[in-house]
Amino acid sequence: MSLVEKIDLQRIPRHIAIIMDGNGRWAKERNLDRSQGHRKGLDVVHEITNDAADLGVECLTLYAFSTENWNRPQAEVDALMALVVYGIERETPGMIENGVRLSVIGDTSRMPIEVQKRLQKCIEDTAGGKRITLNLALSYSARWEIINAAQQLAQKAADGIIKPQDINEETFAAHLTTAHLSDPDLLIRTGGELRISNFLLWQLSYAEFYFTNEYWPDFNKESLCRAIIEYQSRERRFGKTSEQVKTNDKA
């Protein structure tokens, strides 16, 4: 039985978030420049987006560049920005053809204007995509996002548009960058580290976490299947008892 056959297609995680780690170490082990690890990582983004769409995943959020990544050596930051432009240019026609819609979350105003323009153009060109949403977290950090939402709500309260008591989980979530998406069901982190590094702190409240030692450039369809099989073996209780969850499943 192949790994794909072991997956219950009725219980595919709707939204998968991935921390793509290990590009640098993958390159170092091959005596390559770190940028070549990122370049291979981009090819994996292409493959995994299509594999996820084939399995029926509706949204894939990828941590492509964190707020903290601005502190990397300038040459690496420049190489990553150039890679985003190259990736957008290379992938847009295929995305349109395959129903992949691009979405971006993060403080993109910090990115070079040329990168912002290309991203915006790709978002517009792929807006009709119905198969899967590829949501790229760029210049993103969850604390930045949460502060940003708090500031927007405080401003609305100060302007008399809302009352402080109107702020609840729903209104708060509506001011996050992911307001247009469901929360992730599954978080995958490659590269062996066991942390979430300022990624989707609010949205991951009830996600299942899956960590693998594989470096992102080595991640493939089988790796994705293994993560989904593990996800499907777990019972998501959302704070309820096992008995309550089983009764609800039958209803």
Q: Which residues pair with 133 in a beta bridge?
A: 59, 101
Catalytic residue among 8, 31, 43, 69: 69
Rounded Cα distance between 54 and 9, Å, is 11
Catalytic residue among 21, 23, 51, 135: 21
Rounded Cα distance between 222 and 1, Å, is 13
Run of H or E residues at 36: helix 34-55
> Using CB under 6 A, which of the segments 16-24, 100-108, 159-167, 218-226 binds ligand FPP?
16-24
- Torsional sign, CA 112, 115, 121, 127: negative
191 binds ligand FPP (CB under 6 A): yes
129 binds ligand FPP (CB under 6 A): no
- Read off φ and ψ for residue 19, nearest 5 degrees: -95, 105
Nearer to ligand FPP, 104 or 228 (CB): 104
Q: What residue is closest to ligand FPP based on CB?
A: 24
How many residues line the site for ligand FPP (CB under 6 A)?
18
Strand ranges, E, within the chain = 15-19, 59-66, 100-105, 132-140, 186-189, 208-211
Active site residue 168: no
Nearer to ligand FPP, 38 or 131 (CB): 38
Site for ligand FPP in 57-116 (CB under 6 A): 64, 69, 83-84, 87-88
Write the CA distances from 192 to 23, 58, 90, 129, 138, integer angstroms: 12, 26, 30, 33, 22
Site for ligand FPP in 192-251 (CB under 6 A): none
Mask 27-46, x = binds ligand FPP (CB under 6 A)?
-----------x--xx--x-
Active site residue 51: no
To ligand FPP, the closest distance from the beta carbon of 224 in angstroms equals 15
18 binds ligand FPP (CB under 6 A): no
21 binds ligand FPP (CB under 6 A): yes
Is there a contact between 56 and 129 (Cβ–Cβ < 8 Å)?
no
Nearer to ligand FPP, 121 or 175 (CB): 121
* Amino acid residing at 125: D
Is there a contact between 189 and 169 (Cβ–Cβ < 8 Å)?
no
Residues that bind ligand FPP (CB under 6 A): 20-25, 38, 41-42, 45, 64, 69, 83-84, 87-88, 136, 191
Catalytic positions? 21, 69
